[in-house]
Amino acid sequence: MEVRIRYTSHLITYALFQNLKTPFKTIIMKSSRLINKFLICSVILSGLLFLNSCEKEEPVDDHIRLDSFGPSPVLRGGDLKFIGNKMNLVTSVELSSGVSVTTFKNKAEDQITIVVPDATVTGPVTLKTPEGDIHGKTILTISEPISITSFAPGSIRPGGTLTINGTYLNLVTEVIFNNKKSVTTFASQSQTKIEVLVPEDAQSGIIVVSNGMPEPILVESLTALDVALPSVTGFSPDPVKAGTELTITGTNMDLTKSVTFAGGAKVTSFNSIDADKVVLNVPANAQDGPVKIAVASLVEVTSASSLTMKVPVITNVSPNPAKNGQQITVTGIDLDLITGVRFGGDKAGQLLGGSSTEITVGVPLDAIDGLLTFQTASTKSVSSPGSINMVLPTIGDINPLDIQFNNTLTISGTDLDLAVKVVFIGGTESPVTVLDANTITAVVPVGTQSGPITIETTNGSVIGTSISITILASTSAVITSMPSSAKPGQLIDIVGENFEEVTAVIFPDDVPATMYGLKTPTLIQVVIPLDVKKGKGKLKLITANGEEVESPEINIQGVDDVVDPALVFFNFDGLNKWWGDTGDNENDASLSLDGSTYFRVNNSLNGWTGFFWRNSKDNFPADVIGANASNYVLKFDINVLDPISGGEFAWRFKGGGQDYWYYWKPWATEGPYKTDGWITVTIPLTDFYSGSNQLTDLSIINEDFGVAFNNGSSSVNACFDNVRFQLK
């Protein structure tokens, strides 16, 4: 009877391989312990096997088997071992990317060793055997020590060939320049060298190479690549005239893609360009200062020196004195650079054309004495050699010297077409009617006192005279005083002279008075009709012989009744704003219209500033009116406390994809506007437009509605109440 013990060296080898990362001494010690344990177990088993060896023998595995391989990761050119059973029968090893190894460095029954080819990449392994393919259960990982050892040249122009030296560069699929400019096509590539063309838009900086994997290996150069940039050495000519040709000299100038002048004027089209210069036309709005040269990579290079822009030279201005509203001739050099002229008082003149040596300029009506300042598009300016004076009118004669109120005075002299009004003793004044340059007329206002007159011109100059007029007693009706404001239904006093012949008092819009109080030669008491037009206007006194005597201006105040409370959509007693930029509800008894709350704005405004707004048809009676918008008006009560001089009140109804607007701005025609009390403003809904579309159907309004200040600047101190619709 025989005891058979199989002890194969591959178990030891396998144990050694599984501990490749363990120090060799430790591996030997562990392997020795493993052998000792194995021998002890063998002795114990030998007793047991001895009893049964005659009956059964341990089976032997005769198949080709792969137990493990390694190391992984492995270096290309390094040894790769495969451990298993009958390894000597393996015919070839298939690695990733079609790499096949048929030559073995070592081949034994329990293991084989191959040298990893350079073309190998990370992937599966397969053993080719007579019994079929054996696939490794894990992926072989390749250690790829890609490196950049150097590159040349260190400084290069875009378009030049850059040589990158290193290791395993054959695995590189991408070269990345500093501005993330990627290049994937190379002039040549090997394991130790890549030749790549530097892109036009590459920037100086560190170079990066990548293997292009989803989680790529990125290797940076130790030093930065210097990509050449233009360098400006000079300008010719300097100073240069806007619109003319400029030559910028330097190095690498052919890399230039744009030239930006001080002030932001940019040029991208050149008359010519080469390595040492760029020739271009200077923009009209170029300014003094350095220029910036931009290349394809968007890097900008600023010139060390500054370029100076030419300014016009003014040699003469004629005539001098100049007349407001007339023209002057300016002579000089490079006058075609002039884009604006400012007269005394900072008043803008009108350029009427000319040449580089002579231009014509219109003199503003309100210009005063002073230097002329000429501006250019480059923001430079130059002044006239001396002050330019304005022509002044002269008064030669006044006729008649003895005159009554409301009669016409004729004034003769020179340049009287510059006059805008006559100012009399007593503080009265009258606008003039210009008959010609030498003759004007003016009506003598009621309240004028005897004495000399003065005239005021378009530029505010005041011309006096020693000639006096004498005011004669009037024989026709004359108004000497009356209220400047009143309300409908109020009894007012009109004071004057010669009222005996007055038979009627007519209010604005030809509304006759029907109720009177006292009536004497010097006093007429009259009740303002309830249906009178609100706002500023004048009364007319009609005499028995048909004469009309016009009153001073009166501001008739008052508000219309709220006819249908259901059509009120802002009353600031519950129907309030959701949002706005300025103003708020207020209830001051001295300002309130009826003791209730109102909305007040009191602020200096510039541009869009919302007052009060809501949307989403919130308490907005759009559906009540519907398609009958042409039968309705918008009404709102307003009290303008301080004069408004600019901008506009923009009323807005938005919905149905349309934006309907109405711009309320009485000050645009009446001058600074002040109501001196509450009035009602009425606006037909058909005056609201969205572009050219007229508002006809209010039911579509389901978004913003309200009012804002816009398109100008002014101090606004005003109260609003009872914003509503009403049938016409």
Is the bond preceding 385 in cis, omega lying within 30 degrees of 0?
no
Can you give the pLDDT at residue 18?
A: 40
Model confidence at 12: pLDDT above 50 = no
Can you give the pLDDT at residue 59?
A: 58
Task: Say which range, 12-26, 92-106, 239-253, 676-690, has the weakest mean pLDDT.
Answer: 12-26
Q: How many alpha carbons fall within 13 Å on the CB side of residue 32?
A: 6
**CA separation for the pair 39, 33 (Å, rounded):** 10
Task: Say which range, 105-114, 335-344, 529-538, has the weakest mean pLDDT.
Answer: 529-538
Secondary structure, 3-state, 686-708: HHCEECCEECCCHHHCCCCEEEE
CATH of domain 478-556: 2.60.40.10
Q: How do residues 159-178 score in pLDDT, each as one tens digit?
A: 999 999 998 899 899 999 99
Give the pLDDT mean for 9-23.
38
Can you give the pLDDT at residue 58?
A: 52
Model confidence at 22: pLDDT above 50 = no
Q: How do residues 140-158 score in pLDDT, each as one tens digit?
A: 988 778 899 999 999 999 9
Q: How do residues 637-657 score in pLDDT, each as one tens digit?
A: 999 999 999 999 999 999 989
CATH of domain 313-383: 2.60.40.10
Q: How do residues 393-439 score in pLDDT, each as one tens digit?
A: 999 999 999 998 888 999 999 999 999 999 999 889 999 999 999 99
Q: Is 82 helix (H, G, I), strand (E, B) or coil?
A: strand
Where does the pLDDT of residue 713 fall: very low under 50, low under 70, confident under 90, or very high at 90 and above?
very high
Give the pLDDT mean for 305-324.
95
Residue 427: count other Cβ atoms within 10 Å of its Cβ: 10
Can you give the pLDDT at residue 2?
A: 29
Q: How do residues 474-519 score in pLDDT, each as one tens digit?
A: 677 888 899 987 888 889 999 988 899 899 999 998 999 999 999 9
Can you give the pLDDT at residue 446?
A: 77
**Is 685 in contact with 661 (CB distance < 8 Å)?**
no
Can you give the pLDDT at residue 1?
A: 26
> Residues spanned by CATH 2.60.120.430 within the chain?
565-727
Where does the pLDDT of residue 27 fall: very low under 50, low under 70, confident under 90, or very high at 90 and above?
very low
Model confidence at 16: pLDDT above 60 = no
Helix (H) or strand (E) holding 184: none
Q: How do residues 36-93 score in pLDDT, each as one tens digit?
A: 444 444 444 444 343 344 444 555 668 999 999 998 888 778 889 999 999 999 999 9
Domain made up of 394-471: CATH architecture:
Sandwich (2.60)
Can you give the pLDDT at residue 561?
A: 85
Domain 144-227 of CATH type 2.60.40.10: yes
Tell me the two tokens of residue 378: 């480059």
> Residues spanned by CATH 2.60.40.10 within the chain?
61-141, 144-227, 231-302, 313-383, 394-471, 478-556
Can you give the pLDDT at residue 26?
A: 39
Domain made up of 565-727: CATH architecture:
Sandwich (2.60)
What is the DSSP code string of 661-682?
A: EEEE-THHHHSSB--SS-EEEE
CATH match for 61-141 among 3.30.70.100, 3.50.50.60, 3.40.50.720, 2.60.40.10: 2.60.40.10
Q: Is 493 helix (H, G, I), strand (E, B) or coil?
A: strand
Model confidence at 31: pLDDT above 60 = no
Mean pLDDT (the chain) is 88
**CA separation for the pair 154, 498 (Å, rounded):** 106
Model confidence at 4: pLDDT above 80 = no
Domain 231-302: CATH class, spelled out: mainly beta
Residue 565: count other Cβ atoms within 10 Å of its Cβ: 9
The pTM of this model reads 0.52
**CA separation for the pair 434, 437 (Å, rounded):** 7
